[in-house]
A and B are shown apart, each in its own frame.
Chain A
C-alpha cells in the first residue's frame, strides 16, 4: 500500500518534536553544562573541573559507589522475594484465585510512592504503630527507632519497586509448560534440580527485564532514601538535588547527573548483553 507523504508527516512531526525537544536537546544541554565552569576571574570557560571535583571529594564518589551497591542489593532482594510469589501465583494458586491475587498485587503500585512510604513511616517510627504493639505485648521496654537506617531504607526500596519484578516473572512463569516439571518430577528430579534446570532458565527473560527496571528505579529514586534513610545515608540523587536546588551549582549538578546516566545505561547495557536481549524486547 502506497502512503502519501502528508500522512507520513502527520505522524512524524509530533514524534520528532517530542524526541528532539524534550529528550535529545535537554540531554545535550546537560552534557555541555557539565563541562562548563568558572575560572579564577569568574568567567565561564570549558573545563573538566566538575568531573575532577567528583573524584577528588571522597563524599561524592563514595555516595556514588554506595548508591550503586545498594541498588544491586535491592535488586537481588527483590528477585529473591518475587520468585516464590510469582511462582505461587502462576503455578500454585487455583485458577479462580489467580486473577484476584494479580489485582491485589497491582493495586498498591498505583498508589503514589509517597503515600506508601508515608505509611511505612507511621508504622516504623519511634511513636509508630509497630512500637505501640510491641510495647503493649511486652516485647520491648522502650520504643525503638526503626526508621532512618540502611536496612529500613532497603526495605522501603524493595517495597516500592517489587511489582516491576513480580509482573514480568508471573508472565514468563505462566508460559512455562507444566508438563516439563511433571516429567522431571516423574524422572526423579528433586525440587532444587527442577528450579535450577527448568524454572530459572525458562524465566531468564523475565528476570532480566525485571532486574533492569528495578535497578534503574532504585538508582534514580529520591523519595525513599530521603525520607527513610535519615541524615547520614546519602543517595546520589540527593547529591544532584543539593547541587541544583541548595547550592545552585548547576554545572556540578549536571556533571553528577551525567555520571548517573552513564552508570545506569552502562549497567543496563551489560545486563542486555549478558542475556543477549534487545531493549525493545525487554520493554514490551
Chain B
C-alpha cells in the first residue's frame, strides 16, 4: 500500500508502469517538438531526413531560420519587454498589497481582500474583454470631452502590460504574504525603539527579509507574463507577443521554424524555472 507496508509485486509493477506512462504523456509533445526542430525537412513531421541547423541559422531565401526571422524575433523582444514591465509593476504593487493585508487594519479590509483574490476566479478572456471595453470607454471619454487622443487606450503594448499586470499581481501578493507571515515583528519594534523611522525599518529590515520571496515572485510573474495568451489576445495591438505570434502561425499552417522557436522557449523557461526552484530550495 505505502512505503512502509508490504506490497505485492504486481501492485508495484503496475503502479510503476502507470507512472512511466504518465511521464511519457507529459513529455512526449515537448520532446517531439524539440527533435523535429532539427529535422532536415520542410514540414514539422517524420520521416527523419537528417540533422540540420537550418531552422535556426539559415538566412534564406528558401529557408529562414529563427535568427533571421524578423517577425518572430520582434515578437520575442516584445514578449521580453512586456514581461519585464509586468514583473516590475506587479512586484511593486503586490508587495504593497501584502503589507496592506498583513500589517494594516482598516475598514472594508475583508471586502478589499476578496477583490484582490477575484482575478484568480475570473477567466482570463473576461479580464481581457472587460479591459478592452473600459479602455475604449476611457479613450472615447477623453476624445469627446477634451479632444485628446491617447494611444494607450487602444489595443497596444501598454494595454497588454496592464491586462497581465491586473491578475499577475494577485499571485505576487499571495507569495509575498506567505513569507511576510513568517516575519518576526519584534525585529521591527527593536529597530523602532532604537530610533529608526517607519519607512527606514521597512526598507532595511522587512524588505531585506522578504527579498527571496520577492525575487521568486518576480521570476514567476515574468514566466506567467511570457506565456500568457488568453488575456493578451484581446489587448494586443500591432506588436504581438510571442504566444500570439506563434498562435497565428500555427493556425495558418506550420513550418519547422515554429519548432525552433518552441525549442528556445522550452529551454529558456526551463532554465528560469529551475533557477527559481534552486534558489527557493536553498532558502528553505
Contact = CB atoms under 8 A, between A and B. Distances in A.
Contact of B15 (A88, A104, A250): A88
A116 B29 contact: yes
A118 B262 contact: yes
Contacts of A128: 45
The main secondary structure of chain B at its interface with chain A is: helix
A111 B22 contact: no
A122 B123 contact: no
Interface in B262-282: 262, 265-266, 269-270, 272-274, 277
A8 interface: yes
A156 to B, nearest CB: 10
B132 interface: yes
Contact of A3 (B131, B177, B198): B198
12 contacts: A1-B185, A7-B199, A18-B169, A92-B15, A106-B273, A119-B262, A127-B43, A191-B1, A220-B123, A223-B229, A223-B247, A257-B125
Interface stretch (B49-57, B62-70, B91-99): B91-99
Contact of A114 (B177, B185, B247): B247
A132 B45 contact: yes
Contacts of A22: 131, 162, 165-166
Interface size class of B (residues with CB under 8 A): 35 or more
A265 to B, nearest CB: 6
A3 B230 CA distance: 41
B194 interface: no
Interface residues of A, number: 91
Contact of B121 (A26, A27, A264): A264
A115 B134 contact: no
Contact of A119 (B32, B122, B192): B32
B226 interface: yes
Contacts of B5: 181-182, 185
B123 A261 contact: yes
